[in-house]
Amino acid sequence: MHNSFSKKDFYNELQKRFPEVEFLLDEPMKKHTTFRIGGPADIYVEPSVSQVVPLIAFLKESDVPFMVIGNGSNLLVSDDGIEGVVISMGKSSSEIIIDDAKGEIYAEAGAMLSSVANRAADAGLTGLEFASGIPGSIGGAVYMNAGAYGGEMKDVLTSVQILKADGQVEDVSVDKLDLSYRHSALMENPGIVLGAKLQLTVGNVADIKATIDDIRQKRIEKQPLNFPSAGSTFKRPEGYFAGKLIDDTGLRGYTVGGAQVSEKHCGFVVNKSDATASDVLKLMKDVDEKVYEKFGVHLTPEVRIIGRNVN
Ligand SMILES: Cc1cc2nc3c(=O)[nH]c(=O)nc-3n(C[C@H](O)[C@H](O)[C@H](O)COP(=O)(O)OP(=O)(O)OC[C@H]3O[C@@H](n4cnc5c(N)ncnc54)[C@H](O)[C@@H]3O)c2cc1C
């Protein structure tokens, strides 16, 4: 952080400048990640879309590091926490506007995919069923080009409202986002997703809801939803499935500290009992090495590893 500010002084300064926003000091990130892992963020805040633009301008002006997160469902946060300000696009930025007749949806970055998918279903709009069980926000889903069951965000997005590094807010059309398997241009050219426009098509409410139920059922059957996790730990290497490679290497149930390769689905690492980020990182390294030894294939993380002393 900026040398001339202590964390506490900067927190006081933020409270003075943005009296309508609630800032939290030394907020444990394990409260904000589905893995239930992570040390404290120096300062944590959940602003609305209109609050986030001036806030970020001020952080840049003050030369204080910050990062934006969504629902924390694809994050492994360091045990040493995160330096600077963590901005969570959550409940305060989760408006969803639907134009049933045109099949258009505008959702703010913090809206949960499940809420958008359920609202679309109620409006008789089809195309987003694939996303109903992904526990992420619209912002995180755009950033990751989240996908499942044959669909991905790329198929339904038309444009994304982005706060760019130069402080301008711009509507960026989907073809400029370079969306591919768990990749977006935002990974190379940082920008903050404020909201997204989706185009769906008119369908039958009962059919849409049946598909959502079917997907929910499949997830319950296949995924270890009874333990905290961040979903698939590794990306799918071309021509393989990470879970199968891990299983075929004999690592089902492999454990480091409180972290375990799920016994139910080897593609997931679960927090079995008070796992630390170090446990998970060690386990991921071991798994990659052992799979490489056996199959000559490296596994790259799908989870975003963030915070102090992890890179
Ligand atoms: C049980 C379980 C099942 C899952 N199943 C799937 C699945 O089927 N398919 C799938 O693709 N994923 C799946 N995931 C992973 C995860 O839900 C997705 O990657 C999701 O898109 C992450 O969204 P999030 O809001 O939680 O983002 P976070 O985890 O909070 O953040 C992920 C990344 O996005 C960035 N980001 C977040 N919000 C913004 C924003 N507004 N602007 C710019 N950058 C932002 C963050 O900086 C970070 O780099 C699963 C996870 C769990 C726990």
Indicate if ligand 1 lies below 6 Å from the C-beta of 193.
yes
Ligand 1 centroid to 13 CA: how many Å? 31
**Lowest mean pLDDT segment, chosen from 53-57, 163-167, 181-185, 247-251:** 163-167
7-91 adopts what CATH topology? 3.30.43
Considering only CA atoms, which of 238, 258, 240, 239 is closest in space to residue 249?
A: 240
Whether 224-306 and 94-208 are alike in CATH topology: the answer is no
Of 55, 66, 143, the residue with max ligand 1 atoms within 8 A of its CB, to mutate for a pocket test, comes to 143
Both tokens assigned to 309: 């002393």
Architecture of domain 224-306: Alpha-Beta Complex (3.90)
Q: How far apart are the first and last CA of the chain?
A: 18
pLDDT digits (tens, 9 = 90+) for 203-259: 999 999 999 999 999 999 999 999 999 999 999 999 999 999 999 999 999 999 999
Strands 40-45 and 82-88: parallel
Indicate the pLDDT class of residue 172, thresholds 50, 70 and 90: very high
Question: Choosing from 93, 94, 137, 232, which is the catalytic residue?
Answer: 232
Ligand 1 centroid to 12 CA: how many Å? 31
**CB burial class (10 A; 0-12, 13-18, 19+) of residue 278?**
middle
Residue of the CA atom closest to atom 12 of ligand 1: 146
pLDDT digits (tens, 9 = 90+) for 85-131: 999 999 899 999 999 999 999 999 999 999 999 999 999 999 999 99
Which are the contacts of 283, defined by CB distance < 8 A and separation ≥ 6? 254, 255, 256, 259, 260, 261, 269
Considering only CA atoms, which of 39, 18, 5 is closest in space to residue 276?
A: 39
Question: Choosing from 78, 182, 184, 229, which is the catalytic residue?
Answer: 182
Mean confidence (pLDDT) of the chain? 96
Q: What confidence score (pLDDT) does residue 6 get?
A: 87
Q: What confidence score (pLDDT) does residue 279 get?
A: 98
Handedness of CA 223, 224, 227, 231 (dihedral sign): negative
> 305 pLDDT exceeds 70?
yes
Q: Which atom of ligand 1 is nearest to the CA of 306?
A: 49
Residue of the CA atom closest to atom 52 of ligand 1: 231
* Domain 94-208 sits in CATH 3.40.640.10: no
Domain spans in the chain, listed from the N-terminal domain onward: 7-91, 94-208, 224-306
- Please name the residue ranges forming H helices in 227-276: 242-248
Question: Could you count the other beta carbons within 10 Å of the beta carbon of residue 40?
Answer: 21
Considering only CA atoms, which of 112, 91, 97, 106 is closest in space to residue 48?
A: 91
Indicate if ligand 1 lies below 6 Å from the C-beta of 192.
yes
Considering only CA atoms, which of 95, 3, 74 is closest in space to residue 32?
A: 74
Considering only CA atoms, which of 127, 184, 191, 186 is closest in space to residue 164?
A: 191
* Residue 69 three-state SS: strand
Which are the contacts of 175, defined by CB distance < 8 A and separation ≥ 6? none
Which are the contacts of 168, defined by CB distance < 8 A and separation ≥ 6? none
Ligand 1 centroid to 71 CA: how many Å? 7
- Mark whether 182 is an active-site residue: yes
**Distance (Å, whole) CA 300 – CA 219:** 23
pLDDT digits (tens, 9 = 90+) for 260-295: 999 999 999 999 999 999 999 999 999 999 999 999
Residue of the CA atom closest to atom 48 of ligand 1: 69
**Distance (Å, whole) CA 2 – CA 244:** 46
**Distance (Å, whole) CA 106 – CA 104:** 7
Of 69, 91, 194, 229, the residue with max ligand 1 atoms within 8 A of its CB, to mutate for a pocket test, comes to 69
Q: What is the percent of the chain with per-residue pLDDT over 70, rounded to a whole number?
A: 98
Quote the Cα angle for 66-33-250, to 5°: 120
Ligand 1 centroid to 8 CA: how many Å? 30
Q: Which atom of ligand 1 is nearest to the CA of 228?
A: 53
Of 37, 46, 73, 113, the residue with max ligand 1 atoms within 8 A of its CB, to mutate for a pocket test, comes to 73
